[in-house]
Every structure is written in C-alpha cells, then in structure tokens.
Structure 1
Amino acid sequence: MNRLAAVDLGASSGRVIVGSVGSGTVHLTEVARFANTPVQVQGTLHWDILGLYQGILDGLDAAGPVQSVGVDSWAVDYGLLDGDGRLLGNPVHYRDARTDTVVSPVPAAAHYAATGIANQPFNTVFQLLAAGGTAQLDTARTLLLIPDLITYWLSGTIGAERTNASTTGLLTAGGGAWDLPLVARLGIRASLLPPLRDPGTVAGPMLHAPETLVTTVASHDTASAVVGVPARTDRFAYISCGTWSLVGVELPSPVLTTGSFEAGFTNETGVDGTVRYLRNVMGLWLLQECMRAWGPAVTLSDLLSGAAAAPARRSVVDATDPRFLAPGDMPARIAAALKETDQPVPADPYAMTRCILDSLALAYRRAIDDARRLTGRPVDVVHLVGGGAQNALLCQLTADACELPVEAGPVEAGALGNILVQARALGLIPADLPSMRALLRSSRRYEPRAAQAVG
C-alpha cells in the first residue's frame, strides 16, 4: 500500500490523516488532531498559525514515513512575508470586525462580472482594503493564503494554489489568472501575488524529510471536499457541511448573470477546470456558538435528541444573515432575529437547536432550488459531506426540505479529496474525476418524508 498524508485544517481543529492507497481502494487513518483556537490581541482576532504549524509537524512525525503530503484549509485568510521570506505577524481571522465598514472602489456588480466571486465582507479583497496603509502591508513582499503558507514552510517553495486563490476575489472568472487590471483598480500591489499552481503540482521535497514530496492539492478545503463527493453522475448537488455549509452544484464554466449576482452565488474554481457554483450558509457555527454560550450542561447528543422531539419549523431564521458571522452570544442574536419577524423564541436549548437545524435545512433547499433555476442543472440527489454527515437529524431534515434523497458522507471528504489528488499526481489511481469518485462511497441514504411526517 502507498501511504500519503493529508493535512486538513478546519476552523475549529486541524488533523493529520494518512491515506493508504491500493488497487481501487483508499483507507484513511487519523493520526493526529489538534485544536485551532483563535486569539484576540488588542482588539484583533488572529489565527495561532505557529501553534497550528507545530501541530502539523507533530502529526507528520506521528504519521511515520509517507510518500507525499498535501495541505488544505479554509479560504480567504493569508499571511504576509517580508523580503527575507519571514512571516509578518499572525494572520488575521476572517471573523474579525476590521472589514465591517470597508467600501470597495470597484462596484460589486462589476467585481462579480470580472471574478464571479460573491460580495462577502470576509473575502481576501476586503481584508486587503482594510489593511491598506498599514506598516505591515507596506513592508510585505509576498501574500500567501493559509495552505500556501504551510506548503512554503514545509517545502521552501512559493506559489498560490488555484482553487483557493479563486476565493480571494482577485482572479479572473474561472480562475485563469490574476486579474491585474482589477488589482490595479483596487490599489493592491500586484507584486504581492505569487505564481499560480494547479492541484497536483509537486511543490518540492519536504525540507526536513527530503524523501517525502510536498504536493499541492485542491487546497481550499471545500474544493477537496467536492473531489471527495461520491457522485455517480453530474446530476447532483453538494453540501459541504461543517462550521460553514457550502451548498451548490459542479459546473464546467462560471455563471456571471445578473440573477446569479443578485442571488449571492459564487463561482469558485474546482479541480480539472470545474467551477464550484455555490452559496455560503453559516452552517453548524450557529449551533457551535450556542453550545459555547450554554456551557457543558448539555451534550450534542442530548440536544439532538431533544430537537428531534421539538415541533418542526415553529421558528426559523435566515442562516445566511451576516449578523450571525461574528463570535458572541448566538442564542441572543437568534432570539432577536425571531422577534423582528414575530416568531416565537425557543424556550430551551432543545427548541433552539431545532430552530437552527430547520433553518439550515431550509437554507439548503433555497440554495439548491436557486442553483437549479440559475444554471439549468438538474439535481437528482444531494450529497452531504463533512462533519455534518454525522448529524442524522440534520440529514433527514435536509432530505425533507429539499424533497430529494440525501446521501450522507463521507465525513472526511476533504481529507479524501486531498489524498486522491496526491495519489493521481503520483500515478497511483486513474486520472479522471469520475474514476476518482468511483473509489468513494456514501455512508447512509435519507429519503424525503411526506409533509405530514415532517410535522
């Protein structure tokens, strides 16, 4: 068996996972997991990037000898290097408030027409505009998104992997190249932007273990997760469900219509020239923040059991509402949103959990219905992958809301996509995307229930 390592960094934890790749099989073993805890310093929320890197190194040591390692993570955030290649401070967290009042010199519709990327306050472009005029940005010579920064530290080579770079709002639609005229209009130095690399490019040998290659994968974790969708045809929608939920369809080219822009869809680059046409939904962040506010008195299993018995769709909120983006008292914010729309406020954590899950399922339905309408792409099945695939209640509510079967799993779709791209780069598995996906399986199927059965 060939052994490959996936470094998979999520918004709340990081993992090192070893993939054993054989003839027609891929088997994953998690060898390390470490917390990803943001740090507030003088009013700014940062990622503890050095702590994450130490966790990665410890995990790779625990993995033992591997032929290749690839890194994927969340999108949009970046580190800045000086002229000697040294990091200028800890990267700022996308949930930091510094972009709240930023106004772009490029109108949103024109920006969308150029890049296909939805207007989101946390996007890299708005972070750079917020950092304009700071000594750190003026000093910087290179910008590296989080997985590119880790790849640089592991291999010593600099590049911008294309699927993640497409989320910045600085690439041409479809991810072909940096949009230099747009970059100039925004007042951003083009010299900050490194050369683009495609998924499957070998970055180089690992500096402290030259027998191991560092392979550039689909480094946006959602791009890796979509590779890890066990689709049998192209008539599918996907929900990559974790702290965020990314809901959409896979297309051969971007959709740049006015209707698409107004509906809040984004066109992110996928593997093999595909487009991840999707909408961002707040995801399980809503429940995670509520649980943080409630403390350890109730467990997730208790909450889900109580939520399953609670009345259906008694109270729902818009799970794409920006008011839910920042950390804080999530139960109070959800209650305020419900009061504004004259809906009952849940009386206990179980009813609040049901409100959140119903709201997510309905947001998924809206996104999938809008994607079908705007693209003409038929959808026969919804693949829900990532950590949310373990939430049976959410999967069933999603099937009910979408009136489509939901195939849940794999839970580790991001790591699987990461491993598959490495394996293809090394010639270990077939090269085309459908053949790669044929190695994968869903864990459970949920059929939609009749409306009266939903409650």
Structure 2
Amino acid sequence: MAELKMLAIDLGASSGRGIIGKFDGERLTLEENHRFASEPVTIAGSFNWDIMRIFHEIKQAINKCALSADKDIKSIGIDTWGVDYGLLDRKGKLLTNPVHYRDGRTLNIQPEAFRTVPADKLYGTTGIQFMDFNTVFQLVAELRDNPELCAAADKLLFIPDLLNYFLTGEKHTEYSIASTGALLDAKARNWAWDIIDAFGIPRRWFSDIVMPGSTVGPLLPSLRDELGDIRANVVNVAAHDTASAVVAVPAKGDDFVYISSGTWSLMGTEIPEPIITDSSFEYNFTNEGGYAGSIRFL
C-alpha cells in the first residue's frame, strides 16, 4: 500500500507537540515535527488558557508539513487534557478565553452543587469521580459568577472540539472528552439531560456526541490558503489524551491494567460497560469514555 501519513497534535497541561505518523501497511513510524510550551495566563484574577497561542502553534505544526515532504498528510487529529471548555456566541465567536481547571473559582464548590443534585444521583448517572474542577462544577461557578456571559453563550465546546472548530467550522463533541465533565450518562453514552436541566445549564450549549474515528471535516478554505494548501481532513481521535494513550496499550486480550504517566499518573483498565456501585462511589472510581464506546475504569 502507499504510505499513509497523519499529523497528531498532542496537547498536555504544560506543553504541546505535533507528531507525524507514517504507516506503510505493516509498520508505524513516528516523528516529532513541532513542540511548544503551553503557558496559561492570569487575566483580571482569572487563570486562563492562552487558546489563541495554542491554535497558532497547531497552525505552525500544519505549516511545517506543507513545507516538507509531509505535505500529503491525509488526516489531522487533536487530543488534550479533559474538563475545560470554551463558550461560543450565536455567531460562532469565542466569548472569552477558556478558564484553566486549576483556577480557584471551583474551590470547595461541591457542597453547593450537591444541594441541587445529590452526590449519589450525580455519580449514579455519570459514573465520574468528584474533583472540584469537573466541568459540571465549573458550570455551576460559571452560571453563578457570569450570568451575562452565559446568556450570550450558544455553544459549549471542550478544548479539542473547540480547536477542531477553529480548523473546520464544524461543532461536535467527541465522546471521550465529553465523559470527563460529569455531564454524560455513562450507560446511554449521551448527555445526562436530567443532570443538565437540574443545574439550569442551557440545553442549547450542547452539540451532538460523536465517536472517535469519525471525520470532522476539511480545513477551512482560508486556512488551506494560509497553511500551504494542506488537503487533510480533521478527524475525531479519542480526544481525551488519556483515552488516546490507552488505545496504544499493547494488550492482546481484555485482562490488562494500564499505567499512564504524564501530568497525572493514572492506573486503570478498559471495560465494555461502566461500573457504578456503592463501592465505586465510596472509593471515588471513575468511568471515562474510550475508543469505540469503551469505558476506562480508573
């Protein structure tokens, strides 16, 4: 077969990189083509991601393909950390820089949230462990602190979906990244509308859930012109970085445990259906989405 070339954009909490993958039908080779620091910024007391700088660096990685023998890449995929998001207005414009999950707005917010939706109800639906920066808790803070911003918002996109939107103009929500927010029904693999409604989060904010492996779309014509006429399609990878890492675990059967060491050190397994029990609730285990609708239990 002809060599297949792909560009992977891997964004972590402190750095990002572009990786060219080349597959000849038998062997996959990987080569880094771009690396950069991801440095959050504090604005008016809020700790934010510098999302425009991150997008600029993604464009640099794509442009380096155009200026090399890798101009014929067929696809571009982006994975990132979980939980954080951007809000778009009705014209598709980003309303403000995405807030960093380490921002203090959600400090000790769980008791406030649990007065609206009890902890056992939230976990029983989403299967997601409780951490102050979960998207659901960020949105409780957002609605409380920024009502005017929320009224102007039309769509919520998690960070990889937001970057895909910048590249293509298409608005979707990939399954694995959506699962990190405690807003997804773990069994139905769709939005937990009862939870969303109970917290007063507008339904219009949420886009269709799509699975990893699906196509987002081609680069916007303006970006193709800017970046050297790259004709690659943007695809939905397992957009949560841990989900993409687990896809690469070289296990040949179902009986395995993985350890993922990055910004976080994580240990878990991959199973077909969520485990939501009194014990998993007590010990704060989580059920995050993986490739092909799987569950990463960790």
Q: Which residue, 189, 192, 213 being the options, matches 1:179?
A: 192
Shift of 1:267: 0.3
- 2:227 is matched with which residue? none
Q: Which residue, 222, 229, 252 being the options, matches 2:272?
A: 252
Alignment of 1:19-418 (within 5 A): 19-64=21-66, 65=71, 66-102=73-109, 103-104=112-113, 105-133=116-144, 134=146, 135-174=148-187, 176-207=189-220, 208-209=223-224, 211-278=231-298
**What TM-score results when the alignment is normalised by the length of structure 1?**
0.60
Percent pairwise identity: 45
8 Å CA contact 1:160–1:194 kept in 2: the answer is yes
Shift of 1:212: 1.1
1:376-407 Cα shifts (integer Å, max 9, x gaps): xxxxxxxxxxxxxxxxxxxxxxxxxxxxxxxx
- 1:371 is matched with which residue? none
Counterpart amino acid of 1:233?
A: G
Compared with structure 1, are the counterparts of its residues 70 and 78 closer, same or farther at alpha carbon in structure 2 (3 Å cutoff)?
Answer: same
8 Å CA contact 1:218–1:224 kept in 2: the answer is yes
Aligned residue for 1:79, secondary structure, equals strand
Residues 229-238 or 25-34, more deviating: 229-238
8 Å CA contact 2:211–2:293 kept in 1: the answer is no
**What TM-score results when the alignment is normalised by the length of structure 2?**
0.91
Which of the pair is proportionally richer in strand? 2
Inter-partner Cα distance in structure 1 for 2:291 and 2:253: 16
Once superposed, what is the RMSD of the aligned Cα atoms?
1.1
1:283-337 Cα shifts (integer Å, max 9, x gaps): xxxxxxxxxxxxxxxxxxxxxxxxxxxxxxxxxxxxxxxxxxxxxxxxxxxxxxx
Which of the pair is proportionally richer in helix? 1
Inter-partner Cα distance in structure 2 for 1:120 and 1:60: 35
8 Å CA contact 2:11–2:80 kept in 1: the answer is yes
Inter-partner Cα distance in structure 1 for 2:286 and 2:134: 11
Inter-partner Cα distance in structure 2 for 1:49 and 1:231: 35
Shift of 1:175: 5.5
- 1:416 is matched with which residue? none
Which structure 1 residue ranges, 5 or more long, are not aligned? 279-455
1:246-290 Cα shifts (integer Å, max 9, x gaps): 211111110010100111110011111211001xxxxxxxxxxxx
Counterpart amino acid of 2:283?
A: A
Inter-partner Cα distance in structure 2 for 1:193 and 1:239: 32
Inter-partner Cα distance in structure 2 for 1:60 and 1:136: 33
Q: Which has the larger radius of gyration?
A: 1
Inter-partner Cα distance in structure 2 for 1:12 and 1:265: 25
Aligned residue for 1:63, secondary structure, equals helix
Query: How many residues are aligned here?
Result: 278
